[in-house]
Amino acid sequence: MAETRTKTPEPWLDPHAQAYIRVENVTKRFGTFVAVNNVTLKVFKGEIFCLLGGSGCGKTTLLRMLAGFEQPSSGAVYIDGQDMAGIPPYERPVNMMFQSYALFPHMSVAGNVAFGLEQEKIKREEINRRVAEILDIVKLGEYAKRKPHQLSGGQRQRVALARALVKRPKLLLLDEPLGALDRKLREHTQFELLSIQEKLGVTFVVVTHDQEEAMTLSSRVGVMNRGEIVQVGTPRQIYEFPASRFVADFIGSVNLFEGQLTEDEQDHVRVKCEELNAPVYVDHGMSAPPLALCWVAVRPEKIVLERERPASSDNWAHGTIHDIAYLGDMTVFLVKLDSGRQVRVTQANRTRKPEEQFVWDEAVYLSWDASSPVVGMG
């Protein structure tokens, strides 16, 4: 999927590109609680944009404002250049796939899918044709006469998707689309969603708390925390270059160290961390006051475990293996550093040779490449 993604243009890099959705300084209050706080966001045509965040971060409220179920307390939402203020859900060019699917229990699969078309002045034959067509796309053709309670979770999810897509919306909103599915089915459906999206050219806005889902689906991810968007970027950007300690910690697992900047040159920085044996050397500069306090984040998979001490004077630490979790494709090690700090390290199981396996209580050296650590302030 990543291959096809790189071929598609990246409109967010073009300063003249017209955004399909513009969210401008939108705030939503429920009583005294601020659910969405001054959010500004642009989503472009054909994107799959994921709003990612923990529960109660305001991502669903933002989605509901796009659908028209909630009105912003302040700020404005534009879809396709049109101000959405005061426009009810049934007049918006938007369809939503609900987290609970919200299928009409008294209607058959075909009845559910046809419902949206029946609201427009469309001839019966045309409706039947389009319902059959979309049920074919989601591979539910033979289930047309079933009632929702006679379907499995995955089939219901596809009915909900078909019902939302049959109206050919320009914008499809998906609320935790894969939340109720088991792992195997999730992976399968993820790729199905992507192929449908490419086939129909719909813009997707997806809400999820599952970062794996966000990573595989989206062209860009907006990470939300406490009603605010804390970073917007491609999955790779937010994983490799988190803008803040929160994002670094929230996306994937990470080892965070507190430190002090000792050198800040154009081509590198050096950070002294109490918890590590050697200074951290990062091969890109940042502009910060000298001796500033900062944090350093190193991803577990970027750390290499060795029995010998690395030659470099930077970017290593020493400890003993405290715990091992074997996951098949990789192994997770919890290494207790000399400072007492526990560090998470993952290693791909590249061979089956027993002499290469690390064991409990073994003394090991940890090292990483100078390009790997992320340094940030605050």
- Give the footprint of another protein on this chain (CB under 8 A): 67-69, 88-91, 94-96, 98, 100, 102-106, 115-116, 119-120, 149, 163-164, 167
Residues 275, 339 contacting (CB under 8 angstroms): yes
The distance of closest approach from Cβ of residue 296 to another protein in the complex, given in angstroms and rounded to an integer, is 45
Q: How far is the CB of 268 from another protein (least distance, A)?
A: 53
Q: Regarding beta strands 94-97 and 171-175, do their DSSP bridges make them parallel or antiparallel, or are they unpaired? A: parallel
Q: Which is nearer to another protein, 147 or 226 (CB)?
A: 147
* Nearer Cβ to another protein (9/88): 88
What is the nearest approach in angstroms of another protein to the Cβ of residue 8? 28
- Least Cβ distance, residue 96 to another protein (angstroms): 5
For the bound state, the minimum distance from the C-beta of residue 108 to another protein, rounded and expressed in Å, comes to: 13
SS3 of 364, please? Answer: strand
**Dist. CA 254–CA 291, nearest whole Å:** 24
CA angle 251, 254, 256 (to 5 degrees): 120
Q: Residue 117 or 261: which CB sits closer to another protein? A: 117
CB nearer another protein, residue 8 or residue 152: 152
Please give the structure tokens belonging to residue 182: 């088991």
Distance of closest approach, residue 167 Cβ to another protein, in angstroms? 7
Q: At what angle do helices 153-165 and 183-200 cross, to 10 degrees?
A: 10
Cβ closer to another protein: 30 or 104? 104
Q: Give the number of other CB atoms < 10 A from CB of residue 360.
A: 10
* Least distance to another protein, CB of residue 161, Å: 13
61 or 234: CB nearest another protein: 61
CA gap 195, 172 in Å, rounded: 14
Nearer CB in complex with another protein: 54/88: 88
With b for 16 or more beta-carbon neighbours within 10 A and e for fewer, the 297-328 pattern comes to: bbbbbbbbbeeeebeeebbbbbbebeeeeeee
| DSSP code of residue 91 | G
Phi then psi for 196, rounded to 5 degrees?
A: -65, -40
